[in-house]
Copies of this chain bind each other. A is one copy, B any other.
């Protein structure tokens, strides 16, 4: 049985469209500040900070403080629970190979 807690957090965090959009922008940028994220979004800076807090608690982003600025970056391991879940319940993927992770280990050992 797969551990429920991380996949719960990741799924729940990425379910909200605007929060997922924040995550996508963090991913596409190597590092990005809250101000930059706020510009180009239709919600308040406070809302952005709240979403970043959720993303951080879910292990999807990490922060680096530099003076007044806080730079956010994507946490590579954050989506691992999602990959694990898909390797178990991915149906149509599971029929092609039993475990997606083992395949990736072959590619990148």
Contacts and interface: CB of A to CB of B under 8 A. Distances in A.
A12 B17 CA distance: 9
Interface in A68-107: 74-79, 82-83, 86, 89-93, 95-97, 104, 107
A66 interface: no
B83 A83 contact: no
Contacts of A97: 107
B83 A79 contact: no
Greatest chain B CB density within 10 A among A4, A89, A96 is at A89
Contacts of A4: 17
Nearest to A104: B96
Contact of A11 (B15, B76, B90, B108): B15
Interface string A1-39: 000100010011011010010011001100000000000
B86 A93 contact: no
Contacts of A14: 11, 15
A6 to B, nearest CB: 12
Contact of A77 (B17, B24, B76, B92): B92
